[in-house]
Amino acid sequence: MKLIENRRNHKYLSVASLWEITVKINIGKLFATRDLKEMYNLIRDLKIRIIDIKQEHLHTYLALPLIHKNPFDRLIIAQASTEELSLITDDQHQKLSYFNT
């Protein structure tokens, strides 16, 4: 948690996370107290950078072993790997071998 709270560290959020949130809201699996506009404003205010999907991310995605099958999580892993970013998660299914440190 200290890494996230440290204002000197750059923070990134995959557009895949926002896409997954939107899908889950839409199908009723998630209730959000903020609408999308408010979420984007909060992300901006917290100076979190959104990572869009690039061709290189998809190449990395295809090369990932099929240990983790959630497509959103796999894309986030591929983005972090491609961009050489540390990935912080509380997902107990993630494998540390995917993380950059």
pLDDT in tens, 56-73: 999 999 999 987 789 999
- In eight-state DSSP terms, residue 34 is S
Place of tokens 């948690």: 1
Quick one: pLDDT band at residue 97, thresholds 50, 70, 90? very low
pLDDT in tens, 9-32: 899 999 999 999 999 999 999 999
Q: Looking at residue 58, what is its pLDDT?
A: 98
pTM for the predicted model, two decimal places:
0.81
Query: Buried b / exposed e across 57-92, counting CB within 10 Å, b at 16+?
Result: beebbeeeeeebeeebbbbbbbbbbbbebebeeeee
Say yes or no to pLDDT of 100 above 60: no
